[in-house]
Structure 1
Amino acid sequence: MKAGDFLSIHNYFRPLHLKKSQRIIILSEFGGMNYQIKNHFYGKKNYGYKRVSSRKDFMIAYRKLMIRDIMKNIPHGLAGSIYTQLSDIEDEVNGLITYDREVVKCDQEIMRGIAQRIYGLFDREVGNE
């Protein structure tokens, strides 16, 4: 049954290929790179969807994900996305910041540049309608 105001998709590390829809399309959960920072981890286990071992590797993987799944799908109707997750929680180390909120795992300038590119794509798509 196709009901609701929007189509919600969860996608972890599989290439996302969207087709235009009558409903708003939101990638409501994606990302989740496992990047554990020593001395900023609460749990006993280490969980995440894709393991990276450095901030540089984290940013490379994040950039690829944003280009492949977000930027390429805006022209096909992607209207929004939510990265999972903002901060690490207990055994899940797939956030953008550590469990104790002391370390930002990502390069904020690179993140800002990616966000500006995405805003530009949305501006062009809205302008084309």
Structure 2
Amino acid sequence: MSSPNHRATAAPPAWHGIGLPAGTLQAAAGAALVLAAWVMISTDQSRAAASALVPGLLITTLYGADRFCFRAVLERAVLLIGIWALVAPWVLGFAANDNATWAHLAFGCMATISAAAWLRRADAR
């Protein structure tokens, strides 16, 4: 028999509120940047492909590490990487390529918004 003082453990904080949608958005952004890099490599756009591959892999890796144990520093890193993806077309000089620019803007924005949501939630605790 169970004792009357036995309490059920709560679900991990990531599954409450904003956690699941923000995490899914972040994972999708990282995977989409990696996929976009693969498409850009096949169309001979190496600078844009490298600019999508590195942030995509970093976002995906940091997302996976953050699921084991939430660390605000990991979300701050994702936020900075997302911002880099947003400005990369102009910094690296491939803004004239509409497809690469829009991929960077869309997925960089997804990563930035999800990281900001996680950080906002962490600050609220």
On whether the aligned pair clears a TM of 0.5, the verdict is no
TM-score grouping bracket, smaller chain normalisation: 0.3 to 0.5
Which has the larger Rg? Answer: 2
Question: TM-score scaled by structure 1?
Answer: 0.35
Question: TM-score scaled by structure 2?
Answer: 0.35
- Normalized per residue, the structure richer in helix is 2
